[in-house]
Amino acid sequence: MSAPRSTQIFIQNQTGLELDLATERLEAGNWQTLPPQTIPDTQSASFLVVSDVTNNGDAGNITYNSAAGPFTFTFTNPNSGADVYTQTAPENYTSTKVGGGGDNAQVTWILQKSN
């Protein structure tokens, strides 16, 4: 049996916008800490997904809407193989990933207005 997996997600909102949770979906695992409904400008949020009893790792996606458009984050932390992280941001905004990887991953997305 494989060891449990977890993904701790941090979002730093430096956009000048309020972010409102639109969707949160898991393909594998369970929320130990749910994503917040709102992430105000200049604030950070964190939430945690852990693998379930089937030990299929953890995977899912989160979308936050803003006045500029959606910010989307996707993560996969499988029992075998590489972790995968993707992100999208509205035009004129960036979403930079820092960290990630390993059985108990910690990934940070830093959201900013483009220069």
Distance CA 68, CA 64 (A): 11
pLDDT of residue 79: 86
Distance CA 44, CA 19 (A): 11
One-letter amino acid for residue 74 of the chain:
T
Which tokens in the block code for residue 113?
A: 């207005």
Measured from the Cβ of residue 70, the count of other Cβ atoms closer than 10 Å reads 15
Q: Does residue 89 contact residue 74 with C-beta atoms inside 8 Å?
A: no
pLDDT of residue 25: 97
Measured from the Cβ of residue 1, the count of other Cβ atoms closer than 10 Å reads 5
Place of tokens 């701790």: 8
pTM of the model: 0.93
Which tokens in the block code for residue 106?
A: 């910690």
Structural domains of the chain sorted by starting position, each given as residue range(s) with its CATH number in brackets = 6-113 (2.60.270.50)
Query: How confident is the chain (115 residues) per 10-residue block, as mean pLDDT?
Result: 81 98 96 97 97 83 98 94 95 96 94 92
Which tokens in the block code for residue 33?
A: 């800490």
Could you tell me which of 20, 21, 45 has the C-alpha nearest to residue 33? 45
pLDDT of residue 115: 76
